[in-house]
Amino acid sequence: MQTSLLIIDDIFPSNFSPFRDLEYTHYLKFFGATVLTTGGWHHYVPENPSLADILNASGLDSKDRCRVLPFVRQKVAAKLAYVTFLNNAWAHRRYLRKYQIPFILQLYPGGGMELNQPDVDDKLRGVLLSPLLRKVITTQNVTRDYVVGKIGCDPQKIEHIFGGVFRLDEGFDFWSDKFFFGRGKDTTDICFVAHRYENDLSSKGYDRFVDVCREISARIPHARFHVVGSYTRDAINVSDFAERITFYGVRDAAFFADFYPRMDIILSLNRPFVLNPGSYDGFPTGACMEAGFRGVLNCINDPLSMNLDFADGKDIVILDDDMGRTIDRIAGLLANTDELYRLASANCRSFRSVLNTDKQLMARSRVITRELISDHKPKLQDVAKRIRIHRILSNLRGLSPYRI
C-alpha cells in the first residue's frame, strides 16, 4: 500500500480522545492520509468492539473509513509518517526504520512524556535523535526547553505550537447560548473534568476540588458541584454536601455540548510529578480548553509556569497552592456574578482566539505540507555525529546505545 501521509495511532477513532479524532479526520480529508490503528480504544470501550464497529459508529464517511486500517502486518510505502505521543513513536520506531519512513512527532505532555526520568530520556533520545525524524511539534514551553536542553534535539527541528486541536463550537454565542445564574438557572455551578488513573486522586487535583466544594457549600447556598470522569462518590467523603454534588461518570465528547453551557467555573488544580515522578499536564488541559470555548471560566493553576498568553484577572483566573486564597477567590466570584460572567466572557474570547481550532490545524498542516514537498535527506556526517553523542551518553550510564 502506498500513501503520502501515514498516521500511526493507538486509539483512533475514539470519542474519548476528541482532539485526535478532530486532527486526524482533517488529515484524512486534506492530505488523503492513511491511518494505522493498534486498537487501544478497547481500554475505553468495555464492549470490546471490532474496528469495523468503531468505524461505523465514528461518523467518518465511507471514503475516510476505508483508509483506517489495523496496524497488524501492514506494509506501507509512505513519504511521511505522523505520530502523537512519545510512547506511540517509541513503540513503532522499528517499523518506521524498517520501511525507512521519515516522521513527525507531536509531543504532548502525557503518553510517556515525563521529565528527568532516565528511561524516558532514553526513549526521547531514541526517537528525537533518529535521522528519520523531520520535525517534533511541542505544545508547551517546558517540553520544548527540555528536549532541546536535556535531550539535545536539534532546535531547527522544533515546531512550537502552543495548545492543542480541540473542537471550537462555532455556533456557540456566550450571551445567548449560555445559562446564567438568575437567567435560565437558579444555581452557580463548578465542575471538575478529568480522567482518573488507577487510585490516584491528587494528580488532577480532585482532592483539592472536594476541599474547595466543602468550603464553598458552607458559604454559597446556590453553589452546585459536578464531576465528570471515573471519580466516584465514595472516593473521598462528600456526605456533608452530598445533595449538592453530581457524579456523571465517564462521558464521550457529545455529552459536553449541553453540559458546559450550564457550568460557570471549571476548577483544575493539577500537581505535576505525582502520578509518576516526571509526569505533568499541559496548560490548559484539554477539558479546560473545551470548557473555555463554551463560556466556562477557567480557574486553574500553573505550577510549571507554562502560561504565556493569558492574564490573571483579565481573561482567566490563575490559582496557586494557597487553598485559603483559592477558596476566597472562587467564593468572591460566585457572590459577584457580574464579575464572574465578565471574566468568563473574556476567557471565552481569548481561548477562541489563541486556541482557535482552524489556527491549530493550519499550523500543523503547514508543518506537514513543508515536509511532504521537501526532498530532505539527512547528511551522513550529521547522523554519525548524533550516533556518537548518544553512544557516549548511553555508555556513561552503562546502557546499550540506540541503533539507528
Band of pLDDT at residue 399, cut at 50, 70 and 90: very low
What is residue 388's predicted lDDT score, i.e. its pLDDT?
Answer: 55
More confident residue, 382 or 54: 54
Looking at the chain, the whole-number percentage of residues with pLDDT higher than 90 is 75
Q: Which of 6-10, 187-191, 395-399 has the lowest average pLDDT?
A: 395-399
**Is the pLDDT confidence value at 380 over 50?**
no
What is residue 54's predicted lDDT score, i.e. its pLDDT?
Answer: 77
What is residue 46's predicted lDDT score, i.e. its pLDDT?
Answer: 60
pLDDT digit string, tens, across residues 294-328: 999 999 999 999 999 999 999 999 999 999 999 99
Write down the CATH number for the domain with range 2-166+358-396: 3.40.50.2000
What is residue 169's predicted lDDT score, i.e. its pLDDT?
Answer: 75
pLDDT digit string, tens, across residues 36-73: 998 765 555 566 677 887 787 777 888 888 899 888 86
**What string of H, E and C letters represents the secondary structure of 235-266?**
CCCCHHHHHHEEEEECCCHHHHHHHHHHCCEE
What is residue 401's predicted lDDT score, i.e. its pLDDT?
Answer: 36
Band of pLDDT at residue 403, cut at 50, 70 and 90: very low
Burial letters 72-97, b for 16+ CB under 10 A, else e: eeeebebebbbbbbbbbbbbbbebbe
**Is the pLDDT confidence value at 266 over 70?**
yes
What is residue 49's predicted lDDT score, i.e. its pLDDT?
Answer: 75
pTM metric for this prediction: 0.85
pLDDT digit string, tens, across residues 289-299: 999 999 999 99
> What is the homologous superfamily of the domain 174-355 according to CATH?
Glycogen Phosphorylase B; (3.40.50.2000)
**Structural domain spans, the chain:** 2-166+358-396, 174-355
Q: What is d(CA 338, CA 308) in angstroms, rounded to the nearest whole number?
A: 26
Band of pLDDT at residue 93, cut at 50, 70 and 90: very high
2-166+358-396 matches 174-355 in fold:
yes
What is residue 393's predicted lDDT score, i.e. its pLDDT?
Answer: 47
Q: What is d(CA 204, CA 192) in angstroms, rounded to the nearest whole number?
A: 9
Mean pLDDT (the chain) is 90
Band of pLDDT at residue 18, cut at 50, 70 and 90: confident
pLDDT digit string, tens, across residues 120-174: 999 999 999 999 999 999 999 999 999 999 999 999 999 999 999 998 877 899 9
Band of pLDDT at residue 105, cut at 50, 70 and 90: very high
> Residue 267 corresponds to which cell in the numbers above?
476548577
